[in-house]
Structure formats: structure tokens, C-alpha cells
Structure 1
Amino acid sequence: MSLPFAFDNLPASLGLRATELLQQRMDSEPYPLTDTQQQQLLLLLGCSDFIGHRLKWDANWLAQVLEQLEQHLRHPAYQQTLQQLLSECDTELDAKRVLRQFRHQQMWVIAARDILGKAPLEESLAHLSNLAEAMIVACRQWLRDFLAPKYGLPRNKEGVEQPLLILGMGKLGGGELNFSSDIDLIFTYPEHGYTDGDRQLDNQQYFIRLGQKLIGLLADVDANGFCYRVDMRLRPFGEAGPLAVSFDSMEDYYQEQGREWERYAMVKARLMGRSDYDDALYQLLRPFIYRRYLDFSAIDALRRMKGLIESQLRRRALSNNIKLGRGGIREVEFVVQTHQLIRGGRHPAIRRQSLMPVLAELKRSNHFTGREHHSLLEGYRFLRRLENLLQALNDQQTQTLPDGSEDQARLALMMGFSHFDELSKTLTSYMDGIHEVFKNTIGTAEEEDQDLGELPALWQHPMPEMESILKAQGLSTELAEPISHLKNEFGRRSIGPRGRDTLDKLMPRLLQELAGQRNAKLVFERVASVVATILTRTTYLELLQENPAARQQLVRLCAASPWIAQQLAQYPILLDELIDPMQLYQVLPEDGYAAGLREFLMRIPEEDLEQQMEALRQFKQISQLHIAAADVTGVLPVMKVSDHLSWLAEAIIEQVVALAWQQLTLRHGRPSGMTENMGFAVVAYGKLGGLELGYGSDLDLVFLHRADSGVTDGDKSIDNSHFYLKLAQRVLHLFSTRTLSGILYEVDMRLRPSGSSGLLVSHIDRYQEYQQGEAWTWEHQALSRARMVYGEPEMVKRFNRIRREVLAKPRQADTLKQEVSDMRQKMRDHLDKSSDTQFDLKQGHGGMTDIEFITQYLVLAHGHQHAALLKWSDNVRIIEQLLAVGLLTAEQADLLVSTYIDIRDNSHRLVLADRSTVIEAQYRPPACESIALLWQQIFDKDHRKGE
């Protein structure tokens, strides 16, 4: 066997004492020990007074604990053994004796395995927590049976038995109990009612009595000591409140009076044992603990709690405290639980009571760097092991390092150090690392205020010397008037004391971010419009106040784009995306939007349609913000911007169809013949069809199905065609319904067969017939820009074949030219907003639509000769194919492509700048004149060929 250190390393006084204790034990009751067992016992007796005391007091179970020492199970059957032992107890005195003896025996084994290095930290914490939980649950069950002859069982109005639910808080709730910890409990029960025994009590009286007796079984001190100190102060209303409350009372309390520190405590709340009411209680508590938004109010609350703890340390002259001190265990807990309170509402994976798994998940989701995670995890593990060994010295609840040289020596040796100075040096390093992360996460308001100068005073009380103060802070003096105006406007708004305090802290910080900004007045007005929108939503004010990175990105994006500023003002949830600049400017890969949206929707219950619709809109807005941020900073070129906006729309279409299908099939069943596939497809025309979607573009869609005649297989069956009509209607409803986050997309269905008078969804056979025999030339032009964006592979193949066949039909050149020219002129007459002083980038002569008509005309005129022209639906690649087959010269193709991209780029920029695409005539791109000439050249040349 390998011991963690040699017995000879102990100070001589401890070694002598250990030898004497072992000799006394063997003299009083000889027990054959192997050499290994003797060495183990000497080491344990030298290191822990608790082990020596229990060995002297409870010598009769030495053989049993030595066996457990070597065979300790991963999940010991504490509760089963306890219930068996308690079943033989007839009185509370008997039960107390059994509980204490069992507790001491198991604690002896846990401490011994820890000291001897046989148990990793996770095992020790888990066993300590499991032991406490088993004792609580066994006591509750024994007391239920013990009280039943006198009071009967508690029941609700329907006669259903009501259980006492016990919430374990703190380290017990987290499954991380230390060696000599208090246990923090809260008692609750589902419903009011009465017991059914001879001496009837109402349920609250009964559960209070049961709770008092349970506390006594665990906490009363007698000749056998005690099991646990029990702290009930975390219950509603604290010591002034009843010992046990109903679910309704608990819900009322936390909704109306729950405080921030109680939210912090509830993060760790875990039910002891199991009952049929567990889910109901967790559902009741979750809205209080976890907000549906990112909640940065937690930071200031925890900062205040930390300040109170530090003042207590100073007042009580406590030093060397590894729990409450600088960089101690509490700071790790604060950091992790801060993230849980902030993000838990939107990140279910971190709604866990145990600290280390949450820490791992926060690293996985990039809320901690690798270095921060290492500092917190390794520091926490070191401190928790040190805490356990410190308390195992004499089973005392302490986190203060010992002053005595003997205790210092054995603590150092148990931790693997030769001397206490080495332990202290390593401990300081770990605590410094923890405190650094703590400061970065929670910080102090004083640290951030150092560079603000007189800006706080200026915001609080606008003064005559504002311009000189602004100038001294590197800010434009133009800001003086809008600051005064905004201060007066905000002063008239009712936002409550917490909101007012947060606003007064935030505004100087936002002003500071404007230092050195060009057009500072304009940017300030955009930023102010965002702040004005969130003025009564204090949590968003706190988000900006507590996050320098979020403030910086807000100012940067508002400076770059009024469209982004409007989006942020209209949908404040987007402010959450500003927290991490590394993530803000990252866009998803092509297949990332569909996967990301599926993951985004996973947190919404399937039956909650309203929240699913809201989530679809939020995902769109969040994704568009990332794309726009990458756009305005040059991370994405214009061609890629359109690609990403198109991929996003396709992902949303997929989920909208799936959601509509799920709703209809639940009601009507599946159409006949559709056992696996839907038999439904979505064809995109226009900008989405051409992968050229812009910000705010609508979707030109056509719906198809392939079902034969028949009916659905549900209880409320309908014929197949009616089912697909309802499916199309449901899809449009999901797109167009206005929720808190607006509509999803405007959808234009006028390109379907027969236009507005046609069916909302067509059978693909009928679609083929229409395209081949009834469609107008302009509809074939539109078809050149169409592609199927949703549908099973067979329907995609079928559509592509139809499209190729239609576009490849030979056409009479003169007739085609005339029809395309007439349609272009008709559009120009109705849509072109150009004038002598203005130019319409889209509809003007030589603008975007002229380029699109040129490519469409050439595809229809020559598609029967060149199959390569029928492959793509986007203009740029069509033009490249026209060059490849010799229908355009290199100069013409380059002119068309460069001008088209330039106009699209300008259009994106104008949208982001919240400006019209009708620009001053003097800024008309010079190449547009060449495009207008090329239009005439191509059509005139084709006309001569026809002659």
C-alpha cells in the first residue's frame, strides 16, 4: 500500500500521541491488525483528533470500518441501511442514538479515506452529501410512521396524502457538503387540508410539528453528540416565518417579496428524496430563480453581498479564511452563480445545483476562457480538499487556517506538502487566480468609476460649464445640448428608484465611450434612442452598466448604422448579443443556421406555439444583427452578406413548415401515401431564389405538393388537397402574425400559377402544366430566378427538371424581345422613382432591374442551345455562364457583374444607413450609363438578327 506520506513525517509529539492512543486501544480490546492497518491507524490518529476520539468512544466497530476503508462503494446504501436500523427504534431517544452512531461511523470512514488519499475530492463531497440526504429522508419517513398512530396522515381536500418536501440548500443542495457543515433546509408541502387521525391537525400544524421533531433528531446534542446543525433561516420570511409553508404560500412569497440573495440561495435548492410533487415545486420556483432574459441585476446584488461578507471579516478580525476571504471558496461560488442567475433563463444546461459541472458548461459555451476555467476549477478543488481536511482535524466547522504549529504541520502533510509555508505559498497562488476572475466577473463599482472624472456629476446636474467638462474628457462640445435635453426628458419618465440609480451610473459610462467619435452628436442621439426604449426595463440598463464590452459595441454599431440602432431599440433582446465582441462579429456557416435554429427552439416546449413563434423571430433578429455587424465592419463582402441572409431565411422556412405540419397532423393526421415524407415543397423566387436576399427583403414563395387524391388518417380526417391548403395557410400565418418581436417575413405569393386568383398551393403536376402551357413570358423570366428551398429530394429533382424543360423551350426572338421590353417599360412606368435630380438604383435606366432583365432575356432566348445557362438561379453565375458560352464578351460580362455587385453593395449600405435606394442623380454609378447602352445594344443586335 502507498500512503500519502510517512508516519515519521509527523511532529514527534503527534507521533507519540498516536502511538499511545493505538496502544490503549489494543490493550483495552485486542484486535488483530495487519502491518498495513497498523500504519494506516497510526497515520489517522496522528492527523485527526476526531478519528482518535471516535475510535476511543466507538471501538466496537473498528473491524467494520477498516473493511469499509478498503471497499467503500461509489454509491453507498446509506438510506437503505438507515431505514433498517430505524425500523427497530420505538422512541425518539432510540432513533437519535442510532442516527448519531451511524453518522459517526460513516464520517470516520469518509475522513479516513480522504486523509489516506483513497478518495478523490468528488467522492468525498458526494458521500458527505449523500449521507446527509439519506439521514434527512430516513428521519422524515420514520417520523411519518411514528406520528401516524396519534395524528394519522395529512391529506388534501380530495383525500390524497400530502408529503413534506424538504429543500436542501447551499452545499447540501449542490451535492458538495463539507466535512463539518451545517445543513440549510426549507420545509414545504403541496396543499392545505387535515390529518385523518384521532387527533386531527391542519396540514401546516402537522408539518411544523414533524419538522420540529426532524430538526431535533438531527441537531439535538446528547451523550452521543449530534448529527448536523440545522439552519432554517433561508425559509420564506426567515426566522419570523412558519417552519413549513404550502406551495401557494411559497409562490406568493417569492413572487412578491423574494430578494436577490434568495435567488442566489435558490440556485442550489435541491429536493431531498423523491415524490410525485417534485416537478411541480421546481416549476413553481424556476421563474423566481431564472429570468427569461439575460439578467445582470445579479451582479450588483452579489457585489453587495460580497461587500457585507468582507465587512464582517474585518469586524470579526478574521484572517486566513479560505471560504470568505479574498479569492476564497465563496468567490468561486459567486462567479459561477452570477453566470447562472444571468444566463440560466436562456441556457438550461447551467440550471444545475453542482458547481463543477456548471463550470465545465460555462467553459464549453465560451463564457470562460481556458485560463479562467483552470483558475476557478483547480483553485476550487484545492480549497475544498483543504477545507475538508481542516474540518476533519476535530470535526469542527471552520474555514480558518490553524495558528498552532501541530495543526499546521499535519494539515500541510495531508495536503502533500513538507512544510506549512509551502502550503501557504500554493494556497496564495490559487486564491490570487480566483480573485482575478472574480474581479473580472463582478468587480467593484469604484474600480470602473476612476476614469469617469466629472461625467457623473455632469449627467446628474447639467451645468453651465458643461462644454469645458466635455472637452476635458475628450468629448465633443456639441453634446452639451442633447445631454441636457435627454436628462430633462428622462427626468419626466417614471422608472423607479432602482432604474434611476442604474441609469445615473450608465449614462456617464456611455458618454465616456463617445470620446473621439466622429459625428458624436449623431451617434449619441442613436444611442439615446436605444436607452430611451429600455428605460423602464431595468435589467437591460443593468446589462449595459455592468458590461464595458456591451457599451463599446453599442456605440460602435450605432455609429456604423442607424438601421442597427433601430433594431436594437425595437428589439432590446438583441443587446444580449453585444456582451461578447468575439461572438458578435462571427456568422454561422451555411448549414449552421438550420442547426442553430433547431437548438434555439429546443428550449421551448412543443405545445407552446406562442413562444415558438417568438423564438423564430428572435433567432432571425439575432442572426441578422450578427450578419449586419460583420457587414458594417467589412468582415463579410456583399456577396456573402446575401448568402447568409438567404441561408437564414431557408432555415426559418424549414422550421416554419415543420411547425405547421406538426400542428395539422396532430389534428387531422397525415395525408394518405405520406408515411415518411411530407410531400410538400417551397419554391423561392426573386431575391431568395437568386441567393441575393437583402435586409428587410420579403420572400417570393410558391407552395407545391405531390399527394394524390385521398384523405388524411387522423380522427378529424380531411381530403389531401384540403390538408395542403390548410398547411399553406398555416405557414403563411406563422410568417405574418405579429408578435412582440414583429412579423417573421412579408411573404408574396403572386408568382404562383394564375397569380392572386390561383390556388394557394398547387399539385406539382398542375404546376408543370401551367408553366408549359399557360404561363406568361414574365413568369418564365421569374422562373429563371427560382429554386426549391424546401422539399424532399424527389420533389427537388422533379422541380429542377420542370424548370429546365420550361426554360429550354425554343422561343421566337422578335416576340421574346418585344415581350421582355414591354414588361420592362411597364415596370419602369409604375415603379421608377428617378427624376432629373434623383436616380432609382433599382428601377432607373441602367440600374439593377435592367441587369436582371438582360440575364433573364438571354437565358430564355438561348437556353434551348446552352444547357449551362439553366443550372443557376443567381445573376452573377448566370452572367458567368453567358460569358463561357460566348453570348457576352469579357468586357460586357465584367461590366454587368461589377455594376450589379456595386449596386447591391450600395443598396445594403443604404438600408443599414436607413436611407432610400433613390439617390441624388449626381451620385448615380457611372457604369449605369454603360448598362443602359448595353441594353440597347443587346436588344438592337437581336432585332437585326430577327430581320
Structure 2
Amino acid sequence: MNHEQLHRTLAASQYAELVWSLQQDALMQEYAVDQFQHGLSTAEIQRILAHAIAGIDNEQQWMQAVRLLRARLMFRWIWQDVNNQIAVMQLTRELSDFADACIVAAKAFAYPPLATKYGEPIGYGGEKQDLIVIAMGKLGAQELNLSSDIDLIFAFDEQGESNGRKCIDVQQFCILWGQKLIYLLDHITSEGFVFRVDMRLRPWGDGSALALSHVALEKYLSQHGREWERYAWIKARVVTGGADGEALLAMTRPFVFRKYVDYTAFEAMREMKAMIEREVQRRNIIDDIKLGAGGIREVEFIVQVFQLIYGGSKLELQDRQCLQSLHHLGEVELLEPDAVNDLADAYLFLRRVEHAIQALNDQQTQSLPQEPELQQRLLIHLGFEDWDQFIAILNQKRQRVIYQFDHLIKDKAYDSPNENLSLLEQKLDALLDQDARNLLHEFRYGHAIKKLTAKAIKRLKEFWPHLVEAILQSEQPQIALVRLMPLVESVMRRTVYLVMLIESKGALQRLVKMATVSPWICEELTQYPVLLDEFLSMDFELPQRQDLEDALRQQLLRIEIDQVEDLMRVLRLFKKSNVLAVAASDVLAESPLMKVSDALTDIAEVSVQATLRLAYQTVAKKYGYPLDAEGQRCHLQHLAFVVIGYGKVGGIELGYGSDLDLVFIHYFDEQADTDGLKPITGFEFAMKVAQKFLSFMTTQTLDGRVYEVDTRLRPSGEAGLLVTSFKAFEQYQLKSAWLWEHQALVRARSIAGTQELREKFEQLRCRILTMPRQEQDVRREVLNMRQKMKDHLGSSKEQKKHGIFHLKQDAGGIVDIEFMAQYVVLAWSGTNHDLAHYSDNVRILEDAARVGRLSSDDATALIRAYLCERAESHRLALANHSMQVRAADWLDTRQVVYTLWQRLIDPNANDALECE
């Protein structure tokens, strides 16, 4: 044994002296094997613990063996630290690995007696339940110190009962399991303890149940979780609990890391920072290298503030370990390289000092010793000659931390508008008419403000100058003010939104710009202020299909199928927030029209697909699963039901206010019963799925509707059944459908349901559309239908006389182009099957040119006119305007459309649009 290293170890630590006196022989044997000069891997630590407790089934002996092993390992770690044979973060990792191994071993040892007495814990779903152990704090981050407590939370996946002769519920079983685990590790015997266990970070803290179900924990975090708990859950890690534990932890991530930059965290973090500063002053804890000014806590706080604010949008910041996250902050340029280096250097130094302090007597303390003898031991451990030299270096490190901490999330008072409020308001007043001035006066002196709390009034006063300044920078200040005032009134009680707008000057400016362009967006935000969370954090890129699917699936995943209100709320807010994101991208990023329509259609399709699954699950849970027409059981993976989108959703041309034209088709055996306790026929099952789908989609709640749904395009229209079997749909389309119904089928597309049936529908659609037809018959029917639409929906003679043009319904408008595309398919796809492939107008017209049925110039002219008119219709929808515009502004575009209409559909039409 290296006696110089031994002497240094014993001189640095009273605790090491004690362990040496009690276990000298065992320590000398262990030293002879590896000389304490190398680190221990996770597997080696697990193997050492397993060897120490192998074959022990007596509780007292088990506890003794683990405690004696812990003492020997602590001696080893102190030896290595004193003699500079282990890096700081390697030491914290090994300590954490040992804690993990002890938790797993204690959990395993505690289980058999409970199972013998009560049986196995079984969830309502029939699965055996496991005790999920979540490590928080330093253990969660695998940064444990030499004498650290371990912060734990116990959970389980789902409620149920044990299956023994004396049964108890799963929660009580897991509570008893957790209590025994704590006792095995925490209880002080003559050999000491293994780890002190702290359970106070669980929901509601002391006094609450020791173990919670997944659903209960999720409900707590969503409804009661506070900012400091977000801070704590950053480091959460599953020690044991398998897939259930990982699923539970994944559920907490959106609570901790908001999807986008979290401006709401600024205020909470600023308050926590002020609390830390007050605590340091009040307690005068200058000698505490963790809690004192410039201490470990301040380094961790700096890192975690950035994690909470930016972690949702910068995934690399979700690392649990402080040092790793600190380097990531430099990589994403949230901290300057010098700041990262200073903080990392100070953190490593402070953590080593912490270990030296705790090595003195195996105590959980971070305070510098006052006794000369203990100070001398600390100097030996850290390699300093005298106390003054050590303090000078320590203060130098801490001062660098203090500098960074002081400059973190500065008070926004320093970033207030440059001009004083009265001058800003004078400028604004000069730009307003009398009605706008009256609106402002009513707001300032109205009852709404008088009812606000003192805190809300304070926040409103802080917010107001920022709003006025942003409005003054707008191109249309009066319009911006008038449209934004209802929104301000709707959110001023929810002061967090005002904080978000103060913190993000760019977001406020974007909001003002959106207000000038779109009253519709302002109205949506006013009616549903929760959408502001998404709006203020948007990156203004169009949402991608896969992201939409993943997001909605995750939101619905942990909601029970019978929690209808919660499911409806998720569906509605998903649709509204994503449509708002598209509108913002449309207005602010000037996204192309086709991309905007694609995104709006994707949102609708994802909503329809999710809603169909929910409706199917709901009905199947009550009645069981039906058989399909071929006798196969229709589980969720084979739901033998499709939703067909017609019109704009079918043509991938959805607008902001579009409803959904939908038709439901099933492939069930209509006479066979379902396999549930309350069986119904396949026909009844299909009807109930469609009805439940419409209920999920269209029921008016506080969050509005998902979509308005129109089902009148189903076979026989409103007189027909809500759901049609595939065979009946096929027979109707081939034998009974009118030509206008085939015309509608041009813009039909399967958008949800089982893939096999979707493919069957597409084949049938192509077969119907490519049936041979006489061109003159198609022309006559299309012309008759178009005239009926003009008569009922187009501009009146009086409106036309005054120069009004209905962008959609009048001659030369959008519907003319749509009808020409449909004519192309119905009249010519019998000899050119490719024309029936697409359901959107643009690609139909492109294909017509490709097969030579339209000239390239004509197709290009029609497509250009179509996109131009549709772009204007989008703009009008955002502005809450009707489709009626000045005819003089559209004469050239209309003439292009009308000329081609005459050539294709109506050669006898008048030459001039004025004669329509």
C-alpha cells in the first residue's frame, strides 16, 4: 500500500480515519487488488454490490452488508480525490451509479415479502405494475456528492389491485414497497446509513401519498405544477421502472420544456433569482460554497434558467448535467465562450471543495470549516499551502460566478421604451379619429380596469408603454389599436400574457403587424387567449405533416378515452393553434399559396384521422369490435371505415374558414354482431362511429368547434344514410348517381381510415370517372349546374351594375375554373385515364396540357388566374371581408377565364363580361 497516499487521505478526512480503524483488513485486501488508481464502471459497481449481498435473505444482514460496502467505497473515493486520481465528474458519476445500484437492490429485496402477503400488483389493464423510482436533483443528473441526500419520487403506471388472498390496491402496495426501500437505505444502524432519502419533491410534498399513478402525476403537473417544480424536474431521471417509467418521464418533458421559447419563464426566474439574492443577504452565508454568493447554486441556476426558457426549441439544452448543459449554451451562442469557461472552471473547483468539506466527517454540508484543525485537513485535501491562499482563489472563482449571475435576466425596467409615456400617448392621440379616442378613453376609465387586482394593474402599467410604442411603429396605428384593444381586455387578468409580450419585443411587433392585416387573427386570439402561448413562440414556418401527427398523438396519448371534454379540448386547440401558425406564416413570412393550402389541408386531415380513431375506440369500448365483409375482426389497426373528403379538403385547397365536406364509407358485415358485452350489428356500429365522429368534431364547446362538417354529398344526400357500405356506395355511383355527383367525385379523396379500404375507394373513383361519356352531355350538365350556382350564389344584377364582382361565384371567378377542371376529367378521362388521377385543380389542368387536351398556354393562363383569385380569397378571409370585390380590378383575369369558358363549355355565351 502507498503509505504516503494513505497518510494524506487520513490527514484530510476524519471519516476516512474512522473507516480505516474499523475495516483496515478489508481495505488492505481491496487495495492489493486494484490500488485505488482507476475508476469504476457502472457494471463494476453493480457487480461489487451484487457480490456483497449475494445469498443474503435476512434484512438485518442485508442492511449491514450494504452499509459496510458503502463505507469502504467512500474511503476509496476520498483516497482518489485527495490524491488527484479521479476527475470531479467521474467521482460524481460513480457515486450516482452506486446510489442507482443500491436503489435497484433495495427495491428487489423489498418486493418478495410484500408479494407473499398481498400477491402481485395488477393494473386494471391486466399488466403487472412496477414501482417506478425517479431520481431528482443531483442523483437525477448523476452528479451526486460525497455525502449527498438522494431526492426520489415514487410512481406506478395504473391503478388496480393485488391478486393475493389479502388484496390491496396498487397504490397502497407501491406505498408499502417505497417505504421499505427507504428504510433499507436510510435507516441508521450501528454501521451507519447508505443514503439519506428525501421525498419532499413529490406532488404536494410531505403529507401526500408516497406513490402516485401516471395519470395522477400528469394531472398534478398540468393543473398545479409550479415554476420551481419545472426547475426541479429538469434533472429527473428514471432509475428503475422500465418502459412505464420512461413513458411517465416523457410525459413530464412538455411540462418542463415548453415547445417554443418560453417567455413566461423570465418573470418566474427573475423572482427566483431575487429570492436567492435576498436569502444570501438575510442568512449571511458567505462561507457556504453552495448557497452563498457565487456558489454552486448560482452556476446551476444560470444554466437551468436558459434550459427552461430555450430548452423546448433547442433540444440540446435538455441535458440533465450542469456542466454538459453549460457547454451546450456556448454552442448555441446563448453564453459567450469566456462566460462558459469561467463558469465551468468555477463549478469544477467548487464541486471539489464541496467534496473536501463533506469528506471531513461524512456530513451533508457545504460550509467552510471554522476550526483550524479542520481547515488544515481541507487544505491537505485540496493541495493548498495556507488558508489565505485558498480563500483568495476561492473568492476569485466565486466573483466570476457573481458577475454572470448579476447579468442574468436583468430587470425589464432597464429595457423600457425610450420616450416617456405621456409623449408616446400624445403621438398616438394625434393619429386617431374621435371614435378611436373614445374607445381608448372607455378602456382607461372603464369598469374592467377597476376590477383588476393590484398585481394585474401593475403589469398592465408596465405593458402599456411597450404596446403604444409598437402601435406607433405600425403602418396603420389606428387599425392596430382598434383591433388589439379587445385582445388586451381579454388577457389583462391573465397577467402572464402581458409578461410574455413585455419580454418579447419582437413578438409584440409581430402581433401588431398581424392585427393590421387580419382582424380574424385578433378575434381568434381574443376569444381563445390560450392560443397566445403558441402565437408568441411561433417560428413562422409552416407546420410539417409528420410534426402535426406526432404532436396530436402525444397530446391525446395519456387522456383516457372516456374523458370526452379533455379530448375535445385537445382537438380544438390543436386545430386552432396550427391554423393560427399557418396564418402567421402566410402574413409574416409570405408563404406561397399552395404551401399554405397544403398545410391547412394537413391540419384538417390529421384532425380527421385522430378523431376517427377516437370515435372508433369509444364505440368499440362499449360494444366490442365488428366483423368486416370478409369475416375478419376489425380491431383498431383494421378499422374497415374510411372518411372521404370532397370539395376543398378533397382538392387539397383548404382555406381559413372552410368547412369539411365529408362522406363516410364502411366495409363491415352489417348483419354480424360485435364481440362486446352489449353487442350491436355492424350497421349500427358504423352509424355510431359516424355519429360519435361528428360529435367530437362539431359540438360547440368553450373552445369552439374543430370544424363544421357537411355530409350532404353522401349517396341520396340528406335523405340517405349517414354511413354507406362500400358495396352500396359502389352500386349507387355506377347505377343511380347524377352527373353532378360524379362531378363532385372529381374533387374527392380518401383522407382517413384503413389503408386497404382507402385504396379500394381510389380504384372505384378512377373507374367511375373514366367511364365513357358524350362530351355534349357533360357540357350540358356542367353548364346547367353552373348556371344554378350563379343564380343562387352570384352577385345580383344591381350589384353588378355597381361594379361588384364575386370572386368565387361570378363569371370568370374561381368556380368557373373549378368547373372547367371537372369538365376536363369527366369528358376526356375515358380515353385519357391519367386525367382522373389527381383531385386538385392545378394538377388536373397540368395533366390536360400534358395529354394535349389543353394547350400549354391555356392551361398556364387558367392556373395563373386560379392562383391569383385564390390568393385574394385567402387575403379577404384573413381580413374578414366578403368575396365581393371591385370588378374593374379583375377585368383582365376574368377575361382570360371567360374566354376559355366559352371555348370549352359554352360557345354560345356572350363575348363581354358586362353582358352576363
TM superposition score normalised by structure 2: 0.74
Question: Are residue 879 (structure 1) and residue 845 (structure 2) matched?
Answer: yes
Shift in Å at residue 227 of structure 1? 8.9
Counterpart of 1:41, as a letter, is L
Q: What does residue 700 of structure 2 align with?
A: 738
Give the aligned residue type for 1:411: L
Alignment of 1:11-50 (within 5 A): 33=1, 37-38=2-3, 40-41=5-6, 44=9
> Partners of 2:787 and 2:197 in 1: how far apart?
86
Match of 1:756 in 2: 718
Taking the aligned partners of 2:661 and 2:544, their CA distance within structure 1 comes to 24
- Structure 2 counterpart SS, 1:926: helix
2:514 maps to which residue?
557
User: Which residue does the alignment assign to 2:663?
Assistant: 702
Pairing partner for 2:817 from 845, 851, 854: 851
- For residue 805 of structure 2, give the secondary structure of its aligned residue in structure 1: strand
Hey, what does 1:63 align to over in structure 2? 28
Q: Which moved more, 1:709-718 or 1:175-184?
A: 175-184
The equivalences for 1:846-925 within 5 A come to: 846-925=812-891
- Is the counterpart of residue 369 in structure 1 residue 332 in structure 2? yes
Between 1:126-135 and 1:511-520, the stretch displaced more is 126-135
Q: Write the distance in 2 (CA, Å) between the matches of 1:564 and 1:132.
A: 53
Asked if structure 2 preserves the Cα contact closer than 8 Å seen for 1:321 and 1:400, the reply is yes
* Matched ranges for 1:235-250 at <5 A: none
Relative to structure 1, the CA distance from residue 324 to residue 799 in structure 2 (aligned partners, 3 Å threshold; closer, same or farther) is: same
Deviations 1:565-617 (A, max 9, x none): 22222222222224445xx2122334443344323433544553432332222
Q: 1:641 to 1:771 in 2, by over 3 A?
A: same
Residues 327 and 786 of structure 1, relative CA distance in 2, 3 Å threshold = farther
Alignment of structure 1 residues 358-397 onto 2, 5 Å? 369=332, 385-394=348-357, 395=359, 397=365
2:722 maps to a residue whose letter is: L
Greater mean alpha carbon deviation, residues 79-88 or residues 652-661: 79-88
- C-alpha separation between the residues in 2 aligned to 1:785 and 1:130? 61
| Identical pairs, percent | 31
2:92, 2:142 within 8 Å by CA — same for their partners in 1?
yes
- Per the TM alignment, residue 181 of structure 1 is displaced from its structure 2 partner at its CA by 4.8
* Partner SS state of residue 795, structure 2: coil
Secondary structure in 2 matching 1:740 = coil
Helix, strand or coil: the match of 2:530?
helix
Contact 1:470 1:477 in 2 (8 A): no
Give CA-to-partner distance per residue, 1:799-841, whole Å, 9 cap, x none: 3333233223333444433322221111111111351332211
Q: From 648, 666, 674, give the equivalent of 2:632.
A: 674
1:558 corresponds to which letter in structure 2?
A
| Counterpart residue number, 1:462 | none
Pair 1:686 & 2:647 matched: yes
Q: Deviations over 1:249-306 (max 9, x none)?
A: 9x9xx99x9996874786489899999xx99xx99x9999989999866543442332
Distance 1:781 1:111, change over 3 A: same
In 1, the alpha carbon distance for the partners of 2:485 and 2:805 equals: 33
One-letter code aligned to 1:550: A
Q: Cα–Cα, structure 1 residues 317 and 796, in superposed 2: closer, same or farther, change >3 Å? A: closer
C-alpha displacement of 1:522: 1.8
For the structure 1 residues 231 and 659, does the alpha-carbon distance in structure 2 shift closer, same or farther, using more than 3 Å as the test? closer
Determine which of 519, 523, 544 is the counterpart of 2:476. Answer: 519
Matched AA of 1:619: F
Aligned residue for 1:865, secondary structure, equals: coil
- Aligned 1:482-881 pairs, distance under 5 A: 483-489=440-446, 491-492=448-449, 494-581=451-538, 584-606=539-561, 608-666=563-621, 667-672=623-628, 673-675=631-633, 677-715=638-676, 716-834=678-796, 835=799, 836-837=801-802, 838-881=804-847
Q: CA 1:500 to 1:290, structure 2 compared with 1: closer, same or farther past 3 Å?
A: farther
Read off the aligned partner of 2:298 and give its amino acid letter: E
How many angstroms apart in 1 are the aligned matches of 2:617 and 2:331?
38
Matched with 2:904 is 938
For 1:116 and 1:549, the matched residues in 2 are separated by 53
SS in 2 for 1:393: helix
1:560 deviates by 3.2
Cα offset, 1:694, TM superposition: 0.6
Report the 3-state secondary structure (helix = DSSP H, G, I; strand = E; otherwise coil) of the residue aligned with 2:277. Answer: helix
Structure 1 window deviating more from structure 2 (67-76 vs 288-297): it is: 288-297
Q: Which residue identity is paired with 2:366?
A: T
C-alpha contact (below 8 Å) 1:218/1:230 kept by paired residues: no
Measured after TM superposition, the shift of residue 907 of structure 1 is 0.5
Within 2, Cα distance between the matches of 1:167 and 1:298?
A: 24
Q: Check the 8 A contact 1:219/1:228 in 2, yes or no.
A: no
Q: Please say which of residues 634-643 and 125-134 is displaced more in the overlay.
A: 125-134
Residue pair 1:452, 1:512 contacting (<8 A) in 2 also: yes
Structure 1 window deviating more from structure 2 (846-855 vs 522-531): it is: 522-531
Equivalent residue for 1:329, pick from 274, 277, 296:
296
Q: Name the CA shift for 1:433/1:833 in 2 (closer, same or farther; >3 Å).
A: farther
Matches within 5 A, 1:78-89: none
> What CA distance in whole angstroms lies between the structure 1 residues aligned with 2:383 and 2:639?
68
Greater displacement, 471-480 / 736-745: 471-480
Aligned to 1:29: none
Equivalent position to 1:109, from 64, 71, 76: 76
What is the letter of the counterpart of residue 708 of structure 2?
Answer: E
Distance 2:193 2:756 in 1: 74
Q: Following TM superposition, by how much is the alpha carbon of 1:545 offset from its aligned partner in structure 2, in angstroms? A: 3.7
User: 1:169 offset after TM fit, Å?
Assistant: 7.3
Q: Distance in 2 between matches of 1:595 and 1:166?
A: 27
Q: Distance in 2 between matches of 1:482 and 1:917?
A: 29
Shift in Å, 1:700 = 1.1
Matches of 2:256 and 2:49, distance apart in 1: 33
Task: Classify the secondary structure of the residue corresponding to 2:705.
Answer: coil
Q: 1:481 to 1:83 in 2, by over 3 A?
A: farther
Provide closer, same or farther for how the CA distance between residues 855 and 185 of structure 1 changes in structure 2, counting only shifts above 3 A: closer
- Shift of the alpha carbon at 1:618? 1.9
Matches within 5 A, 1:308-323: 308-314=275-281, 323=290
Q: Note if contact 2:19-2:75 (Cα within 8 Å) is conserved in structure 1.
A: yes
Task: Kindly indicate whether the alpha-carbon contact (under 8 Å) linking 2:697 and 2:708 is maintained by their aligned counterparts in 1.
Answer: yes
Give the secondary-structure state (helix, strand or coil) at the position aligned to 2:493: coil
Contiguous gaps of at least 5 residues in structure 1 = 1-32, 144-164, 191-202, 459-465
Task: Please state how far the C-alpha of 1:905 moved relative to its aligned partner.
Answer: 0.2
Q: Which runs of 5+ in 2 are unaligned?
A: 111-131, 160-171, 911-916
8 Å contact kept, 2:470–2:509: yes
Q: Residues 336 and 833 from structure 1, CA distance in 2 versus in 1: closer, same or farther, beyond 3 angstroms?
A: farther
> Matched residues in 2 for 1:696 and 1:361: separation?
46
CA separation in 2, counterparts of 1:356 and 1:271?
11
Q: 1:350 to 1:258 in 2, by over 3 A?
A: farther
Output one character per residue of 1:676-718: Cα deviation in whole Å (capped at 9) or x when no partner: 6222222221111111111121111112223345424412332
| 1:514 match: secondary structure | helix
CA distance in 1: counterparts of 2:469 and 2:692, whole angstroms: 49
User: Do 1:387 and 1:399's aligned partners in 2 also have CA atoms closer than 8 Å?
Assistant: no
Q: Please give the per-residue CA displacement for 1:868-909, whole angstroms capped at 9, x wherever unaligned.
A: 322222112222223334433444323321111111000001
CA distance in 1, matches of 2:252, 2:593: 44
Residues 358 and 722 of structure 1: CA distance in aligned 2, closer, same or farther (over 3 Å): farther
Q: How many residues align?
A: 834
Q: CA deviation at 1:482?
A: 5.0
With structure 1 as the length reference, what TM-score do the two structures score?
A: 0.72
